[in-house]
Amino acid sequence: MPELPEVECIVRDLNKYLKGKKITGVFFIFYQMLQGVSPEVFGREIRGEVIQEIKRRGKYILFFLSNDKILEVHLRMTGRLYYYSNSVAPEKYTGAVFYLDGGDELHYQDIRKFGTFRLHVKQDLSQLKPYLLGLDPLEDNFTLNSFLEILKRNPGRKIKPFLLDQKNIAGMGNIYTDETLFRAGIHPQRKVNSLTLQEIKKLFESLLSTLKEGIECRGTSVSDYRDIRGQEGEFQKRLKVYRREGAYCLRCGSTIQRKLLAGRGTYFCPSCQPLSCNKRRWEQ
DNA sequence: CTCCGTGCCTGTGAGC
DNA sequence: TGCTCACAGGCACGGA
């Protein structure tokens, strides 16, 4: 499941291989990701345009094309982008093929077909979905102070659903949220307004360092994730709690637990991440 | 306000 | 062996 670090790696690689290339044709094999837009219309808008730059916001990938067109791609659960320097036959789950000048190809694959493509023409960037989300942790405006501000706006929420909500912070998914909370020593069910200033500082640092470590490891390939050349990441080897139910905590030796929270499997160490907190509240 | 379930999909793996 | 079913979890949406 691509989260911020995986999407960041994909976007860096896309820029390396696709910048300046012209899209000479598009072949759509399944259409769910087009969300009702006909493949003919979609293809007509994209064909002939040059890929000027690829950016990321949260988990969204944005292809900035010539003529002020923007192709927005969200990989959701199992979406993948594969780059080939030559012509390759579509596979079982290939939903779209972008043909590029020079014979390069970009294939979109998606087993579960949850991914979405959206096309924007001459749009005010700030009105686009990816820019209506919360702070992106890799952008300059994500600071301890701005983090404190959004926490203050959500005093009653549990910290895990808070971190997963893209309107607060853009890019956190289930894996990096559980790993961040473990590294910060915070129970996923702790209420935002129960956190001490010290804990918030720890959380802020853990969030950034976990995401950055994820990027350095080129992502987490626990099941589906591959980079645009089909390579696995390495961060799965550094997971401390995610999918480690029943195993020993690498820090204290207690047993890692799993609970359903916010509708997702949630992994934590009950000893390193205690639920009870009798420290002074940060907001007072 | 916050949380929870459902739908969108299909592969994997546990248990019978 | 082969079947069923929970699970995987990003996001939108409706309801408690």
pLDDT tens by residue, A8-29: 999 999 999 999 999 999 999 9
If pLDDT is split at 50, 70 and 90, which confidence band does A280 have?
Answer: very low
The catalytic residues of A are 2-3, 59, 264
CA–CA gap between residue A106 and residue A85 (Å, rounded): 9
If pLDDT is split at 50, 70 and 90, which confidence band does A262 have?
Answer: confident
Which nucleotide is closest, CA of A174 to its C1'? C9
A259 touches strand B (CB under 7 A): no
Within residues 136-175 of protein chain A, the ones with CB less than 7 A from nucleic strand C are 164, 166, 173-175
Which nucleotide is closest, CA of A155 to its C1'? B1
If pLDDT is split at 50, 70 and 90, which confidence band does A277 have?
Answer: low
Percent of chain A's residues with pLDDT above 70: 97
Please, which positions of strand C sit below 7 A from a protein CB? 7-12
If pLDDT is split at 50, 70 and 90, which confidence band does A213 have?
Answer: very high
Stretch A107-131: mean pLDDT: 92
Reduce the DSSP state of residue A19 to 3 states and report it. Answer: coil
CA–CA gap between residue A162 and residue A154 (Å, rounded): 8
Q: Is the pLDDT of residue A283 over 50?
A: no
> Tell me, in Å, how far CA of A79 is from C1' of B10?
13
Residue nearest B10 (alpha carbon to C1'): A112
Q: Is the pLDDT of residue A178 over 70?
A: yes
From its phi and psi, is residue A215 left (phi > 0), alpha (psi between -120 and 50) or beta?
alpha
If pLDDT is split at 50, 70 and 90, which confidence band does A146 have?
Answer: very high
What does pLDDT average to over chain A? 93
**Do A90 and A107 form a contact (C-beta atoms < 8 A)?**
yes
